[in-house]
Copies of this chain bind each other. A is one copy, B any other.
Amino acid sequence: MARALEFTITHRLEGALARTGVIETPHGRIETPAFIPVGTKATLKSLTPEQLESTGAQAVLANAYHLYLRPGPQIIDNAGGLGAFMNWPRPTFTDSGGFQVMSLGAGFKKVIDMDGHDPDYKTKKEKLAHIDNDGVTFKSHLDGSYHRFTPEISMQIQHGIGADITFAFDELTTLYHDYNYQVESLEHRTHPWAVRSLAEHQRLNAERSHRPPQALFGVIQGANYEDLRRKSAQFLGAMDFDGYGLGGALEKSRIGEITRWMCEELPEDRPRHMLGISEPDDIFDCIENGADTFDCVSPARVGRNGALYTRHGRINIQRQEFKEDYRPFDETCDCYTCTHYSRAYLSHLFRAKELLANTLATIHNERFIVKLVDDIRASIADGSFFEFKEAFLHDYYSK
């Protein structure tokens, strides 16, 4: 059987783990580093696939949990897989569903500023999901019905959905879990579940040979602990995964360091996907330390709230002074929104709660982050990464 995924490294940055490369999938190439927008329910909210493509997005990531509940993987499978179902001809990813089934409580933000602490996280979590060493039982957010995910079930769902790149089922822990819990989670759940995910994935790829082969990324956990992160990366790195997910909650101030621990241990010739980040400082830190791709709902979500990215940070388009400002939102931006509409018009659409507001803001924000990562890729290739990082972050955070 043909490999589901080929990864070629094209440049390496001196003095760091950053690299550029090309991932080849049955549905086309992804030049890395790359930002992968999220189409949670097989649609990037408020955009057509053509509008998404206009942002430069090379792939899209959908959520196995949401698609499992509605419309169900069988319907997507019958449609010819996720890309055919949603009219997106380029590469696709799905996550394992683990994040969603376990994160419907408190304390599960991907990147956490550790100033606060939510003492209720355990009880909240227990109400919504019960984790044992075989899998997770959880309540549907749609109708309260009970469901169960195991590594095998997650892989069966992800094969039904049929994305090019899938993720192993893992336990999502939080920073509020102590060291002993993290050790137990790796030994009794995340690592054995990775073994089971890979076996079921290989069985399904063989069984479903009428479909393009799918790739599987193992997901590394270990929270903020260096020994656990390294051990997890070694364990999963020795297995026959097509790539790796850098998972779990982590402290924002340490995101680069933690990424480095994992990437130093992982085989160099496999792509690495950092799950759920999109803030510019996080993106630079993760790429510098060896991450190749990222996904996040945030650019679209904050855009729908009127918060648009600029080189000098996010600005809310509903500011009073934009009502009579006839300039493009960002004169330096090449997106459809900035090349066709004024601040006054965007401001009007948001104030009038018009649906087109969502579309135009989402296009701009996705383009901004995709373009930022494109520029980072170019800066790795020509060796200017550190200068570009310093200049960009200076402008972005000095507003």
Chain A residues engaging chain B, CB cutoff 8 angstroms: 41-43, 45-48, 51, 66, 70-71, 75, 78-79, 85-87, 323-324, 326, 336, 340-342, 344-345, 347-349, 351-352, 354-356, 358-359
A359 touching B71 by the CB < 8 A rule?
A: no
CB distance from A336 to the nearest CB of B (A): 8
Which of A341, A342, A356 has most chain B Cβ within 10 Å? A356
Given contacts A344-B85, A355-B46, A323 and B41 within 8 Å (CB-CB): no
Residue of B nearest to A340 (CB): B87
B344 touching A71 by the CB < 8 A rule?
A: yes
Residue of B nearest to A345 (CB): B85
CB distance from A247 to the nearest CB of B (A): 26
B355 touching A355 by the CB < 8 A rule?
A: yes
Copies in the complex: 2
CB distance from A81 to the nearest CB of B (A): 12
Q: A43-B355, A48-B51, A85-B345 are in contact. List 16 more A-B contacts (CB 8 A).
A: A42-B345, A43-B349, A45-B356, A48-B336, A48-B356, A70-B348, A70-B351, A71-B348, A75-B344, A78-B344, A79-B342, A79-B344, A79-B345, A87-B345, A355-B355, A355-B358
Residue of B nearest to A356 (CB): B43
Which single member of B78, B352, B356 contacts A324 (CB below 8 Å)? B78
Contact partners of A352 in chain B: CB under 8 A: 41, 66, 70-71
Residue of B nearest to A45 (CB): B355
Q: How far is the CA of A336 from the CA of B324 in the complex (A)?
A: 35
Contact partners of A342 in chain B: CB under 8 A: 79, 85
Q: How far is the CA of A359 from the CA of B78 in the complex (A)?
A: 24
Contact partners of A78 in chain B: CB under 8 A: 324, 326, 344
5 closest residue pairs by CB, A with B: A46-B355, A71-B348, A43-B356, A41-B352, A87-B340
Pairs A–B under 8 Å by Cβ, sample size 24: A41-B348, A41-B352, A43-B354, A43-B355, A43-B356, A45-B354, A45-B356, A46-B355, A48-B336, A48-B359, A70-B348, A71-B348, A75-B323, A75-B324, A75-B348, A78-B326, A78-B344, A79-B326, A79-B344, A85-B344, A85-B345, A86-B345, A87-B345, A355-B359
